[in-house]
Chain A
Amino acid sequence: MAQASSVVTDDMRALVGVEGAPMTLEVEKTNCRMFARSVGHTDAIYYDEAAAKARGHRSIVAPPGFMGTPVFHPGQAPTGPAQSRGYSIPYKRVLNGGTEYEYFPENGVICAGDTITARSKISAFEETEGSLGPMLITTRETTYTNQDGKVVAKMYGTTIQY
């Protein structure tokens, strides 16, 4: 049961495990190259389609950590700040706690030209008392399914609010 001081409401608890609206991600050559360049990758499979094909890939490969997430949502005019899923909490500050990526290359290596459907859900809310005071730790899981209906990756993310 929730503690008296809990910021996790019943409405929030009801969201745990429920998938949000799926998002379509178009993995594009330019985005793969841009991501790779900003990291400083040196492998040509992230830049040159011929090099990628020579190594058995369908096109330029999405670098580790890149799921085709668009900088802007294609086909949409700019929108306001990202909306949280219909709940608000009293903490003002947010930290990205960490991220883990899991790949299933036997189902397909993510390449330019792929269309990925991302489905996210909140896995858990956890409340702790840290050096910065009371905190809400939210873990999310996103599943990435390619155009063939195969799960090619998952992402596990942690957000800390305090």
Chain B
Amino acid sequence: MGEQVYFEDVREGEEIPQLKKNCSTQQLVLWAAGSGDFYQIHYDKDFAQRTGLKGLIVHGALKNAFLGQLLHDWVGEQGQIRRFGCSYRGMDEPDQDILCRGIVTKKRSEDGRHYVELDVWTENPDGKKTSPGTAIVTLPSRA
């Protein structure tokens, strides 16, 4: 966790610090155990290829959880994630970089809370957004 970010420090259009991931097949098995998703296309290459895939693919929900980490690490100890999620649009493969990114789209204060809305996504090595989504977090105010 880095230094605390405050509501006043954030600008609309600003990109938040990126998080780079790269899943080994071992991580996919760990995720299967952590999440309870044991679908074999994520760890059994023969099975994955029999379903018509080129090979193993990264779980969509794991990429979503990466976006959760991106946001958690950004909002710091005093910030909170209110909402986050993504669509699973493109497949990612193990042993390839998955870049998690977010851009601030809106700031608003309501009922004493300071909300920041973001577009978030994961990106494959070709720069394609494989999991586009949105998020709402709250940040502390300096006021």
Contacts and interface: CB of A to CB of B under 8 A. Distances in A.
B133 A98 contact: yes
Contacts of A65: 61, 64-65, 68
Contacts of B71: 64
Given A43-B1, A65-B68, A71-B36, A98 B60 contact: yes
Interface residues of A, number: 32
Q: For chain B, give the interface size range.
A: 20 to 34
B29 to A, nearest CB: 9
* Highest count of chain A CB atoms <10 Å: which of B61, B66, B84, B85: B85
B124 interface: no
Contact of A97 (B31, B65, B82, B88): B88
Interface string A100-139: 1111010000000000000000000000000000000000
A98 B83 contact: no
A56 to B, nearest CB: 9
A42 B88 CA distance: 25
Given A71-B36, A98-B87, A101-B85, A40 B61 contact: no
Task: Decide if the interface of chain B is mainly helix, strand, loop or mixed.
Answer: helix
A77 interface: no
A137 B78 CA distance: 38
B77 A38 contact: no
A50 interface: no
A103 to B, nearest CB: 6
A55 B82 contact: no
A99 B85 contact: yes
9 contacts: A39-B66, A64-B72, A65-B64, A71-B34, A71-B35, A95-B88, A99-B85, A105-B82, A158-B87
Interface of B: 1, 21, 27, 30-31, 33-36, 60-62, 64-66, 68-69, 71-73, 77, 80-88, 133
Given A39-B31, A43-B1, A69-B36, 19 more contacts: A36-B34, A38-B31, A38-B35, A39-B34, A39-B66, A41-B72, A43-B72, A64-B65, A64-B69, A65-B61, A95-B88, A96-B61, A96-B88, A98-B87, A98-B133, A99-B86, A100-B83, A100-B84, A100-B86
Interface of A: 31, 34-43, 55, 63-66, 69-72, 95-103, 105, 156, 158
